[in-house]
Structure 1
Amino acid sequence: MPVQIGLLLFPHLTQLDLTGPLQVFSRIPGATVHLVAKRIAPVPSDTVLSLLPTIAFVDCPQLDVICVPGGTGTDALLGDDETLAFLRSQSAGARFVTSVCTGSLVLGAAGLLRGYRATTHWSAMPHLAAFGAIPTASRVCIDRDRISGGGGTAGIDFALTLTEMLTDRTTAQAIQLMLEYDPAPPFDAGSPASAPPAVLALLEDRMAAARQRRSDAVSRAAARLIAGASTQF
């Protein structure tokens, strides 16, 4: 049977979190890749690009890999019962439950990261613990069947790592070569540890309001998760 891979679509996702892994996964021999959403209708990203789902939740087969990308739209997903229920249902039969960037917060809100190490975008790292996850600052984090990638461009590293696990190293390396994925960034400013202090301060200031909204959304989602767990006993 072909490997079934599903990438979640939702409004205001960061398209790079999705399209980086999508480009890699689409080159896995024999893999079937789905763009999964609540319904078949164009989904706006956080840029001018809109994305069209290939399958709706109700028609989605059992996936071997479920992947949640990140973006500002994840804040709304933290309280989206339909999406969280879909992720919980799929995770029960999936070989790998995965995320890129702040998609890990959504997995956390679904109760799927409790006791697992996970990573996310550096700005959201403090929020993982609210869902019982173990925050891990790494480009790609593997903990049993949970695999998470850091922010944005880490999605390609994540996807190549998972491709090796699904196939073999030669296949993953061949895909890397086909994509000519040989990064040589023009600046050493890709993480808080390496960015010039003035650049970090500038971005922190620009992100302040968005980070507060995310913090509030995480607090609500964590409280719902705790309340839901308590009703099971």
Structure 2
Amino acid sequence: MTDSPKPFHIVFLLFDGITQLDFTGPAQFLARMAGAAVHTAAKQIKPIETDSGFAILPSKDFADCPQADLLCVPGGFGTKDVIADDETLQFLRSQAAGAHYITSVCTGSLALGAAGLLDGKRATSHWAYTALLEKFGATYEKARVVKDGNIITAGGVTSGIDFALTVIAEIAGQQFAESVQLGLEYDPRPPFHSGHPDLADPELVTMLRDRIYAKQVADLADIIDRS
């Protein structure tokens, strides 16, 4: 008889307005590790509205959530409510105190910052929101994945897959991480080279920033300043 691997508890925070790929992307990869136990945690066990037109039912509420070995905070337009909610921030602090890895994807890093977990740390976020990191005492580093001690932050949305592979390689070795990448056929070759402001047409960057992100950033900055 062989011993079962020790459970490795992976906790994703869920909240209304979440960008579902921020967590479903890395979850798909991290779940391939031996012993991986993926938990989705929210204040209440009720359908969580994503930004993609469908809802997700969390598996745990805050009171019943096990201690995370890896804590991950995804992003989304609902981040503004997370950073203003004391109960959620306290949950993040409590989980972070015992976690081996404290992580985020996209604007989830702002929630980590609001919980006081990024002070003095290097971090990243979605390109439109990176200037807000300094409000939490963090230093922005331009990269898809930034690791500072046991804090790992990923850039916007699809960067979460890169973060997951980084963690898998550290825990289970590069060869296993590569096998997961191969099994899930993660071989990105986008039809356009406009996935980052450094590559996209400047007019497109300005249009997107003005139409979508400027108000979101201003609202978040106001909430942070009032906290």
TM-score using structure 1 length: 0.92
Out of 212, 216, 220, the residue aligned to residue 214 of structure 1 is 220
Cα distance in 1 between the residues matched to 2:77 and 2:55:
15
In the alignment, is residue 27 of structure 1 matched against residue 39 of structure 2? Answer: no
Cα distance in 2 between the residues matched to 1:190 and 1:220:
33
Deviation per residue, 1:144-196 (Å, 9 max, x gap):
00000000110000111011112111211111111100000111111111101
Cα distance in 2 between the residues matched to 1:179 and 1:44:
26
Q: Which amino acid aligns with 2:20?
A: Q
1:211, CA displacement in angstroms? Answer: 2.3
> Which consecutive aligned stretches of 4+ in structure 1 deviate over 3 angstroms post-superposition?
none
Cα distance in 2 between the residues matched to 1:12 and 1:30:
30
Out of 137, 149, 162, the residue aligned to residue 154 of structure 2 is 149
Count of residue pairs brought into register by the alignment: 221
Q: Percent identity?
A: 50
Cα distance in 1 between the residues matched to 2:152 and 2:201:
30
1:209, CA displacement in angstroms? Answer: 2.0
Q: Which amino acid aligns with 1:177?
A: L
In the alignment, is residue 82 of structure 1 matched against residue 112 of structure 2? Answer: no
Cα distance in 2 between the residues matched to 1:62 and 1:104:
20
In the alignment, is residue 4 of structure 1 matched against residue 9 of structure 2? Answer: yes
For structure 1, which runs of at least 5 residues remain unmatched after alignment?
222-233
For structure 2, which runs of at least 5 residues remain unmatched after alignment?
1-5
CA RMSD of superposed structures (Å)? 0.9
Out of 34, 38, 43, the residue aligned to residue 38 of structure 1 is 43
Out of 200, 203, 212, the residue aligned to residue 208 of structure 2 is 203
Out of 191, 206, 219, the residue aligned to residue 186 of structure 1 is 191
- Residue 63 of structure 2 aligns to a residue in which SS? helix
Cα distance in 2 between the residues matched to 1:212 and 1:53:
30
Alignment-derived partner of residue 231 in structure 1:
none
Contact 1:108 1:114 in 2 (8 A): yes
- Residue 7 of structure 1 aligns to a residue in which SS? strand
Deviation per residue, 1:13-72 (Å, 9 max, x gap):
101101101101111121111011111111001121211101111011111000000000
Deviation per residue, 1:105-161 (Å, 9 max, x gap):
000000001011110001110000100111111000000000000001100001110
Cα distance in 2 between the residues matched to 1:89 and 1:123:
29
